[in-house]
Structure 1
Protein backbone atom coordinates (compact mmCIF):
# COMPACT_ATOMS: atom_id res chain seq x y z
CA UNK A 1 0.00 0.00 0.00
CA UNK A 2 1.25 3.46 -0.91
CA UNK A 3 0.40 6.66 0.92
CA UNK A 4 0.96 10.17 -0.38
CA UNK A 5 0.91 13.41 1.56
CA UNK A 6 0.95 16.96 0.23
CA UNK A 7 1.84 19.85 2.54
CA UNK A 8 1.67 23.52 1.59
CA UNK A 9 2.82 26.52 3.62
CA UNK A 10 1.62 30.04 2.93
CA UNK A 11 3.25 33.22 4.19
CA UNK A 12 2.57 36.84 3.14
CA UNK A 13 5.75 36.95 1.02
CA UNK A 14 6.03 33.35 -0.21
CA UNK A 15 4.41 29.95 -0.57
CA UNK A 16 6.14 26.56 -0.40
CA UNK A 17 5.06 22.98 -0.81
CA UNK A 18 6.28 19.43 -0.22
CA UNK A 19 5.04 15.99 -1.27
CA UNK A 20 5.78 12.73 0.50
CA UNK A 21 5.31 9.19 -0.84
CA UNK A 22 5.45 6.27 1.61
CA UNK A 23 5.32 2.54 0.82
CA UNK A 24 4.86 -0.18 3.45
CA UNK A 25 6.95 -3.30 2.80
CA UNK A 26 6.22 -5.63 5.67
CA UNK A 27 7.94 -4.33 8.80
CA UNK A 28 9.60 -1.45 6.95
CA UNK A 29 8.41 1.79 5.41
CA UNK A 30 10.12 3.47 2.46
CA UNK A 31 9.62 7.21 2.05
CA UNK A 32 10.54 9.86 -0.52
CA UNK A 33 9.97 13.59 0.01
CA UNK A 34 10.14 16.30 -2.64
CA UNK A 35 9.79 20.05 -2.17
CA UNK A 36 8.77 22.59 -4.76
CA UNK A 37 12.50 23.11 -5.45
CA UNK A 38 12.58 19.59 -6.93
CA UNK A 39 10.22 20.40 -9.80
CA UNK A 40 10.53 24.18 -10.28
CA UNK A 41 12.61 24.99 -13.38
CA UNK A 42 12.60 21.34 -14.39
CA UNK A 43 13.21 18.11 -12.43
CA UNK A 44 16.26 18.22 -10.14
CA UNK A 45 17.63 16.67 -6.95
CA UNK A 46 17.09 19.87 -4.96
CA UNK A 47 14.79 19.27 -2.00
CA UNK A 48 14.79 15.48 -2.48
CA UNK A 49 15.10 13.24 0.59
CA UNK A 50 14.85 9.45 0.94
CA UNK A 51 14.20 7.43 4.09
CA UNK A 52 13.78 3.91 5.38
CA UNK A 53 11.92 3.37 8.65
CA UNK A 54 11.05 0.55 10.98
CA UNK A 55 8.32 2.16 13.11
CA UNK A 56 9.27 2.31 16.77
CA UNK A 57 12.88 1.23 16.12
CA UNK A 58 14.83 3.40 13.65
CA UNK A 59 14.69 5.92 10.81
CA UNK A 60 17.51 6.55 8.34
CA UNK A 61 17.15 9.73 6.25
CA UNK A 62 19.29 10.66 3.25
CA UNK A 63 19.36 14.21 1.92
CA UNK A 64 20.20 13.65 -1.76
CA UNK A 65 21.57 17.07 -2.81
CA UNK A 66 23.61 17.45 0.40
CA UNK A 67 24.65 13.76 0.44
CA UNK A 68 23.94 13.82 4.16
CA UNK A 69 22.68 10.97 6.38
CA UNK A 70 20.56 11.37 9.51
CA UNK A 71 20.18 8.40 11.86
CA UNK A 72 17.40 8.12 14.43
CA UNK A 73 17.04 5.19 16.83
CA UNK A 74 14.13 4.69 19.26
CA UNK A 75 13.74 2.40 22.23
CA UNK A 76 11.52 2.08 25.30
CA UNK A 77 12.74 0.95 28.71
CA UNK A 78 10.95 0.82 32.05
CA UNK A 79 12.00 2.91 35.06
CA UNK A 80 10.17 2.10 38.27
CA UNK A 81 7.53 0.39 36.13
CA UNK A 82 7.08 3.60 34.08
CA UNK A 83 7.79 3.68 30.31
CA UNK A 84 10.79 5.80 29.30
CA UNK A 85 10.91 6.52 25.55
CA UNK A 86 14.43 7.23 24.31
CA UNK A 87 15.39 8.70 20.94
CA UNK A 88 18.98 9.01 19.68
CA UNK A 89 19.55 11.26 16.66
CA UNK A 90 22.82 11.80 14.78
CA UNK A 91 23.30 14.00 11.70
CA UNK A 92 26.45 13.03 9.85
CA UNK A 93 26.88 16.29 7.93
CA UNK A 94 27.09 18.67 10.88
CA UNK A 95 28.19 15.98 13.37
CA UNK A 96 25.26 16.83 15.61
CA UNK A 97 24.06 14.29 18.16
CA UNK A 98 20.87 14.60 20.22
CA UNK A 99 19.46 12.42 22.97
CA UNK A 100 15.78 12.85 23.80
CA UNK A 101 13.89 11.08 26.58
CA UNK A 102 10.28 11.14 27.77
CA UNK A 103 9.07 9.48 30.96
CA UNK A 104 5.32 8.94 31.31
CA UNK A 105 4.49 9.16 35.01
CA UNK A 106 0.82 8.41 34.35
CA UNK A 107 -1.81 9.17 31.70
CA UNK A 108 -1.78 12.90 32.57
CA UNK A 109 1.84 13.66 33.53
CA UNK A 110 5.05 13.41 31.52
CA UNK A 111 8.57 14.74 31.94
CA UNK A 112 11.05 14.97 29.09
CA UNK A 113 14.63 16.05 28.49
CA UNK A 114 16.53 16.98 25.34
CA UNK A 115 20.34 17.16 25.28
CA UNK A 116 22.59 18.22 22.39
CA UNK A 117 26.04 16.68 22.80
CA UNK A 118 29.20 18.83 22.60
CA UNK A 119 27.16 22.01 23.15
CA UNK A 120 25.88 21.60 26.69
CA UNK A 121 22.40 22.57 25.53
CA UNK A 122 19.81 20.79 27.67
CA UNK A 123 16.06 21.44 27.82
CA UNK A 124 13.65 20.06 30.40
CA UNK A 125 9.87 19.96 29.91
CA UNK A 126 6.90 18.97 32.02
CA UNK A 127 3.58 18.12 30.37
CA UNK A 128 0.28 18.01 32.23
CA UNK A 129 -2.98 16.97 30.56
CA UNK A 130 -6.02 18.28 32.43
CA UNK A 131 -9.39 16.55 31.94
CA UNK A 132 -8.14 15.13 28.65
CA UNK A 133 -8.56 18.42 26.75
CA UNK A 134 -6.19 21.05 28.20
CA UNK A 135 -2.40 20.67 28.09
CA UNK A 136 0.12 22.76 30.05
CA UNK A 137 3.80 22.58 29.04
CA UNK A 138 6.38 24.63 30.93
CA UNK A 139 9.97 24.06 29.81
CA UNK A 140 13.37 25.24 30.99
CA UNK A 141 16.51 25.76 28.90
CA UNK A 142 19.56 25.13 31.09
CA UNK A 143 21.97 26.64 28.56
CA UNK A 144 20.08 29.94 28.22
CA UNK A 145 18.63 29.91 31.75
CA UNK A 146 15.19 30.75 30.32
CA UNK A 147 11.63 29.46 30.63
CA UNK A 148 9.13 28.76 27.86
CA UNK A 149 5.42 28.13 28.31
CA UNK A 150 2.71 26.54 26.18
CA UNK A 151 -0.95 25.85 26.80
CA UNK A 152 -3.34 24.15 24.37
CA UNK A 153 -7.07 23.49 24.46
CA UNK A 154 -8.95 20.91 22.38
CA UNK A 155 -12.45 21.95 21.30
CA UNK A 156 -15.11 20.18 19.24
CA UNK A 157 -12.92 17.08 18.94
CA UNK A 158 -10.78 18.06 15.93
CA UNK A 159 -9.82 21.67 16.76
CA UNK A 160 -6.90 22.69 18.98
CA UNK A 161 -6.04 26.23 20.10
CA UNK A 162 -2.51 26.76 21.39
CA UNK A 163 -0.62 29.70 22.90
CA UNK A 164 3.16 29.77 23.41
CA UNK A 165 5.63 32.21 24.94
CA UNK A 166 9.42 32.09 24.60
CA UNK A 167 11.02 34.20 27.31
CA UNK A 168 14.47 34.23 25.64
CA UNK A 169 13.19 35.87 22.45
CA UNK A 170 10.05 37.52 23.94
CA UNK A 171 8.06 35.80 21.20
CA UNK A 172 4.32 35.22 21.71
CA UNK A 173 2.57 32.74 19.41
CA UNK A 174 -1.03 31.73 18.79
CA UNK A 175 -2.06 28.67 16.77
CA UNK A 176 -5.29 27.13 15.55
CA UNK A 177 -5.11 23.63 14.05
CA UNK A 178 -7.60 21.06 12.84
CA UNK A 179 -6.98 17.42 11.92
CA UNK A 180 -9.51 15.51 9.86
CA UNK A 181 -9.15 12.25 7.94
CA UNK A 182 -11.84 13.35 5.47
CA UNK A 183 -11.01 17.03 4.93
CA UNK A 184 -7.27 17.06 5.55
CA UNK A 185 -5.46 19.09 8.19
CA UNK A 186 -4.65 22.76 8.47
CA UNK A 187 -2.85 25.09 10.83
CA UNK A 188 -2.98 28.87 11.15
CA UNK A 189 -0.23 30.58 13.12
CA UNK A 190 0.29 34.14 14.31
CA UNK A 191 3.30 35.38 16.26
CA UNK A 192 4.56 38.70 17.57
CA UNK A 193 7.88 39.65 19.12
CA UNK A 194 7.18 41.70 22.24
CA UNK A 195 10.77 42.99 22.28
CA UNK A 196 10.39 44.79 18.96
CA UNK A 197 9.43 48.44 18.94
CA UNK A 198 6.96 47.85 16.12
CA UNK A 199 5.03 44.80 17.23
CA UNK A 200 3.89 43.61 13.80
CA UNK A 201 2.33 40.13 13.87
CA UNK A 202 3.63 37.45 11.51
CA UNK A 203 1.03 35.21 9.89
CA UNK A 204 1.40 31.75 8.39
CA UNK A 205 -0.94 28.99 7.23
CA UNK A 206 -0.24 25.31 6.59
CA UNK A 207 -2.45 22.65 5.02
CA UNK A 208 -1.86 18.91 4.63
CA UNK A 209 -3.72 16.35 2.49
CA UNK A 210 -3.23 12.58 2.78
CA UNK A 211 -4.07 10.06 0.05
CA UNK A 212 -4.05 6.25 -0.02
CA UNK A 213 -3.27 4.60 -3.35
Structure 2
Protein backbone atom coordinates (compact mmCIF):
# COMPACT_ATOMS: atom_id res chain seq x y z
CA UNK A 1 0.00 0.00 0.00
CA UNK A 2 1.01 3.59 -0.62
CA UNK A 3 0.06 6.78 1.20
CA UNK A 4 0.17 10.37 0.00
CA UNK A 5 0.17 13.40 2.32
CA UNK A 6 -0.45 16.85 0.89
CA UNK A 7 -0.25 20.15 2.77
CA UNK A 8 -1.35 23.56 1.49
CA UNK A 9 -1.17 27.03 3.00
CA UNK A 10 -2.70 30.23 1.57
CA UNK A 11 -0.88 33.21 3.04
CA UNK A 12 -3.46 35.94 2.38
CA UNK A 13 -6.30 33.89 3.90
CA UNK A 14 -4.16 32.26 6.63
CA UNK A 15 -5.82 28.95 5.74
CA UNK A 16 -4.04 25.59 5.98
CA UNK A 17 -5.34 22.45 4.28
CA UNK A 18 -4.08 18.86 4.58
CA UNK A 19 -4.99 15.73 2.62
CA UNK A 20 -4.18 12.12 3.48
CA UNK A 21 -4.67 9.53 0.73
CA UNK A 22 -4.14 5.77 1.06
CA UNK A 23 -3.79 3.65 -2.07
CA UNK A 24 -5.41 0.24 -1.62
CA UNK A 25 -5.21 -1.76 -4.83
CA UNK A 26 -7.07 0.04 -7.62
CA UNK A 27 -8.85 2.39 -5.21
CA UNK A 28 -7.71 5.36 -3.17
CA UNK A 29 -9.22 6.50 0.13
CA UNK A 30 -8.73 10.18 0.91
CA UNK A 31 -9.42 12.51 3.84
CA UNK A 32 -9.14 16.29 3.58
CA UNK A 33 -9.35 18.75 6.45
CA UNK A 34 -8.47 22.36 7.25
CA UNK A 35 -7.08 24.14 10.29
CA UNK A 36 -10.70 24.87 11.30
CA UNK A 37 -11.13 21.13 11.93
CA UNK A 38 -8.86 21.35 14.98
CA UNK A 39 -8.93 25.09 15.85
CA UNK A 40 -11.39 24.75 18.74
CA UNK A 41 -10.83 21.07 19.36
CA UNK A 42 -11.64 18.21 16.98
CA UNK A 43 -14.74 18.95 14.86
CA UNK A 44 -16.27 18.13 11.49
CA UNK A 45 -15.60 21.62 10.10
CA UNK A 46 -13.76 21.41 6.77
CA UNK A 47 -13.74 17.60 6.74
CA UNK A 48 -14.16 15.85 3.35
CA UNK A 49 -14.05 12.07 2.78
CA UNK A 50 -13.35 10.64 -0.67
CA UNK A 51 -13.22 7.34 -2.53
CA UNK A 52 -11.46 7.33 -5.88
CA UNK A 53 -10.58 4.90 -8.62
CA UNK A 54 -8.17 6.76 -10.93
CA UNK A 55 -9.55 7.09 -14.42
CA UNK A 56 -12.98 5.76 -13.40
CA UNK A 57 -14.73 7.72 -10.63
CA UNK A 58 -14.35 10.06 -7.62
CA UNK A 59 -16.90 10.30 -4.79
CA UNK A 60 -16.53 13.19 -2.30
CA UNK A 61 -18.61 13.62 0.86
CA UNK A 62 -18.48 16.97 2.65
CA UNK A 63 -19.25 15.93 6.23
CA UNK A 64 -20.40 19.25 7.81
CA UNK A 65 -22.48 20.22 4.77
CA UNK A 66 -23.74 16.67 4.13
CA UNK A 67 -23.04 17.27 0.46
CA UNK A 68 -22.09 14.65 -2.12
CA UNK A 69 -20.03 15.37 -5.22
CA UNK A 70 -19.18 12.71 -7.75
CA UNK A 71 -17.23 12.41 -10.97
CA UNK A 72 -17.28 9.71 -13.63
CA UNK A 73 -14.43 9.44 -16.14
CA UNK A 74 -14.18 7.42 -19.31
CA UNK A 75 -11.97 7.23 -22.39
CA UNK A 76 -12.54 5.79 -25.84
CA UNK A 77 -11.12 5.84 -29.35
CA UNK A 78 -12.71 7.82 -32.19
CA UNK A 79 -11.08 7.72 -35.62
CA UNK A 80 -7.85 6.53 -33.97
CA UNK A 81 -7.90 9.51 -31.59
CA UNK A 82 -8.32 9.36 -27.80
CA UNK A 83 -11.40 11.05 -26.34
CA UNK A 84 -11.61 11.63 -22.57
CA UNK A 85 -14.90 12.51 -20.84
CA UNK A 86 -15.56 13.59 -17.22
CA UNK A 87 -19.04 14.09 -15.77
CA UNK A 88 -19.25 16.04 -12.48
CA UNK A 89 -22.28 16.67 -10.28
CA UNK A 90 -22.51 18.43 -6.91
CA UNK A 91 -25.83 17.62 -5.23
CA UNK A 92 -26.23 20.53 -2.78
CA UNK A 93 -25.15 23.18 -5.28
CA UNK A 94 -27.13 21.40 -8.01
CA UNK A 95 -24.19 21.99 -10.31
CA UNK A 96 -23.43 19.67 -13.22
CA UNK A 97 -20.51 19.95 -15.64
CA UNK A 98 -19.12 17.95 -18.54
CA UNK A 99 -15.44 18.00 -19.49
CA UNK A 100 -14.17 16.48 -22.72
CA UNK A 101 -10.80 16.36 -24.43
CA UNK A 102 -9.62 15.11 -27.80
CA UNK A 103 -5.96 14.05 -28.06
CA UNK A 104 -4.66 14.43 -31.61
CA UNK A 105 -1.07 13.44 -30.79
CA UNK A 106 1.36 13.79 -27.83
CA UNK A 107 1.83 17.49 -28.66
CA UNK A 108 -1.72 18.61 -29.46
CA UNK A 109 -4.97 18.39 -27.48
CA UNK A 110 -8.29 20.24 -27.44
CA UNK A 111 -10.53 20.24 -24.35
CA UNK A 112 -13.91 21.72 -23.49
CA UNK A 113 -15.79 22.39 -20.26
CA UNK A 114 -19.56 22.98 -20.22
CA UNK A 115 -21.60 23.83 -17.11
CA UNK A 116 -25.26 22.82 -17.38
CA UNK A 117 -27.78 25.39 -16.21
CA UNK A 118 -25.45 28.39 -16.39
CA UNK A 119 -24.42 27.65 -19.97
CA UNK A 120 -20.78 28.53 -19.21
CA UNK A 121 -18.49 26.98 -21.79
CA UNK A 122 -14.69 27.07 -22.13
CA UNK A 123 -12.59 25.68 -24.98
CA UNK A 124 -8.86 25.14 -24.45
CA UNK A 125 -6.07 24.21 -26.84
CA UNK A 126 -2.98 22.48 -25.40
CA UNK A 127 0.24 22.57 -27.43
CA UNK A 128 3.65 21.20 -26.41
CA UNK A 129 6.55 22.59 -28.45
CA UNK A 130 9.79 20.86 -29.34
CA UNK A 131 10.99 17.28 -29.41
CA UNK A 132 11.06 17.04 -25.61
CA UNK A 133 7.80 19.05 -25.30
CA UNK A 134 9.14 21.22 -22.48
CA UNK A 135 7.35 24.39 -23.57
CA UNK A 136 3.56 24.19 -23.23
CA UNK A 137 1.11 26.82 -24.47
CA UNK A 138 -2.56 26.76 -23.35
CA UNK A 139 -4.88 29.42 -24.79
CA UNK A 140 -8.45 29.15 -23.43
CA UNK A 141 -11.57 30.84 -24.84
CA UNK A 142 -14.51 31.53 -22.51
CA UNK A 143 -17.58 31.45 -24.77
CA UNK A 144 -20.01 32.98 -22.27
CA UNK A 145 -17.68 35.93 -21.48
CA UNK A 146 -16.21 36.22 -24.98
CA UNK A 147 -12.76 36.42 -23.41
CA UNK A 148 -9.40 34.66 -23.53
CA UNK A 149 -7.18 33.19 -20.81
CA UNK A 150 -3.58 32.16 -21.42
CA UNK A 151 -1.08 29.83 -19.74
CA UNK A 152 2.58 29.22 -20.58
CA UNK A 153 4.65 26.47 -18.92
CA UNK A 154 8.39 25.87 -19.22
CA UNK A 155 9.67 22.51 -17.98
CA UNK A 156 13.28 21.90 -16.99
CA UNK A 157 15.45 18.85 -16.35
CA UNK A 158 15.23 17.50 -12.84
CA UNK A 159 11.47 18.01 -12.45
CA UNK A 160 11.31 21.81 -12.15
CA UNK A 161 8.75 23.85 -14.07
CA UNK A 162 7.62 27.48 -14.25
CA UNK A 163 4.10 28.46 -15.24
CA UNK A 164 2.56 31.86 -15.99
CA UNK A 165 -1.19 32.45 -16.39
CA UNK A 166 -3.22 35.51 -17.34
CA UNK A 167 -7.01 36.04 -17.22
CA UNK A 168 -8.11 38.88 -19.46
CA UNK A 169 -11.49 39.46 -17.75
CA UNK A 170 -10.15 39.81 -14.20
CA UNK A 171 -6.62 40.90 -15.20
CA UNK A 172 -5.18 38.32 -12.82
CA UNK A 173 -1.56 37.36 -13.46
CA UNK A 174 -0.35 34.12 -11.89
CA UNK A 175 3.17 32.74 -11.45
CA UNK A 176 3.87 29.20 -10.27
CA UNK A 177 6.99 27.17 -9.53
CA UNK A 178 6.77 23.38 -9.30
CA UNK A 179 9.38 20.79 -8.36
CA UNK A 180 8.59 17.07 -8.64
CA UNK A 181 10.65 14.12 -7.45
CA UNK A 182 9.98 10.43 -6.86
CA UNK A 183 8.91 10.77 -3.22
CA UNK A 184 7.83 14.39 -2.88
CA UNK A 185 6.90 17.58 -4.68
CA UNK A 186 6.15 21.16 -3.81
CA UNK A 187 4.57 24.18 -5.44
CA UNK A 188 4.83 27.89 -4.70
CA UNK A 189 2.52 30.27 -6.51
CA UNK A 190 1.68 33.97 -6.49
CA UNK A 191 -1.14 35.87 -8.17
CA UNK A 192 -1.49 39.59 -8.86
CA UNK A 193 -4.52 41.62 -9.90
CA UNK A 194 -3.14 44.12 -12.39
CA UNK A 195 -6.35 46.19 -12.18
CA UNK A 196 -5.63 47.11 -8.56
CA UNK A 197 -3.45 50.13 -7.79
CA UNK A 198 -1.72 48.38 -4.91
CA UNK A 199 -0.62 45.06 -6.32
CA UNK A 200 -0.11 42.83 -3.26
CA UNK A 201 0.50 39.22 -4.32
CA UNK A 202 -1.60 36.34 -3.05
CA UNK A 203 0.82 33.59 -2.04
CA UNK A 204 0.23 29.86 -1.73
CA UNK A 205 2.59 27.00 -0.82
CA UNK A 206 1.81 23.33 -1.34
CA UNK A 207 3.85 20.20 -0.66
CA UNK A 208 3.21 16.49 -1.28
CA UNK A 209 4.96 13.43 0.22
CA UNK A 210 4.60 9.79 -0.91
CA UNK A 211 5.15 6.88 1.49
CA UNK A 212 5.26 3.11 1.30
CA UNK A 213 3.16 1.42 4.01
TM over 0.5: yes
CA contact (8 A) 2:113 2:121 kept: yes
Which segment is superposed worse, 57-66 or 109-118?
57-66
**CA distance in structure 1 between the aligned counterparts of 2:174 and 2:50, rounded to whole angstroms:** 32
Q: Is residue 114 of structure 2 the alignment partner of residue 115 of structure 1?
A: yes
1:54-81 deviation digits (Å, cap 9, x = unpaired)? 2221111111111111110011122211
Show the counterpart of 1:21: 21
Q: What pairs up with 1:12-51 in 2 under 5 angstroms?
A: 12=12, 14-24=14-24, 26-51=25-50
Structure 1 residues 101, 198: closer, same or farther in 2, change over 3 A? same
1:77-124 deviation digits (Å, cap 9, x = unpaired)? 222110100000000011100000011000100000000001110000
CA contact (8 A) 2:27 2:52 kept: yes
Structure 1 residues 96, 15: closer, same or farther in 2, change over 3 A? closer
* C-alpha RMSD of matched pairs (Å): 1.7
Q: Is residue 89 of structure 2 the alignment partner of residue 67 of structure 1?
A: no
Q: Give the TM-score of the pair, scaled to structure 1.
A: 0.92
Show the counterpart of 1:139: 140
Structure 1 residues 200, 28: closer, same or farther in 2, change over 3 A? closer
Q: Is residue 148 of structure 2 the alignment partner of residue 186 of structure 1?
A: no
CA contact (8 A) 2:8 2:204 kept: no
**CA distance in structure 1 between the aligned counterparts of 2:26 and 2:186, rounded to whole angstroms:** 30
CA contact (8 A) 1:22 1:32 kept: no
Could you tell me how far 1:201 is from its partner in structure 2? 2.9
Aligned residues: 211
Segments of structure 2 that go 5 or more residues without pairing to the other structure are none
Could you tell me how far 1:157 is from its partner in structure 2? 2.8
Could you tell me how far 1:39 is from its partner in structure 2? 2.2
**CA distance in structure 2 between the aligned counterparts of 1:164 and 1:56, rounded to whole angstroms:** 27
**CA distance in structure 2 between the aligned counterparts of 1:89 and 1:195, rounded to whole angstroms:** 33
Segments of structure 1 that go 5 or more residues without pairing to the other structure are none
Q: What pairs up with 1:185-204 in 2 under 5 angstroms?
A: 185-204=185-204
Structure 1 residues 51, 201: closer, same or farther in 2, change over 3 A? closer
CA contact (8 A) 1:9 1:207 kept: no
Secondary structure (helix, strand or coil) at the match of 1:88 reads strand
Q: Give the TM-score of the pair, scaled to structure 2.
A: 0.92
**CA distance in structure 2 between the aligned counterparts of 1:10 and 1:145, rounded to whole angstroms:** 30
**CA distance in structure 1 between the aligned counterparts of 2:156 and 2:187, rounded to whole angstroms:** 15
1:120-169 deviation digits (Å, cap 9, x = unpaired)? 10000000001210000000000111001110001123110111110000
**CA distance in structure 1 between the aligned counterparts of 2:34 and 2:13, rounded to whole angstroms:** 18
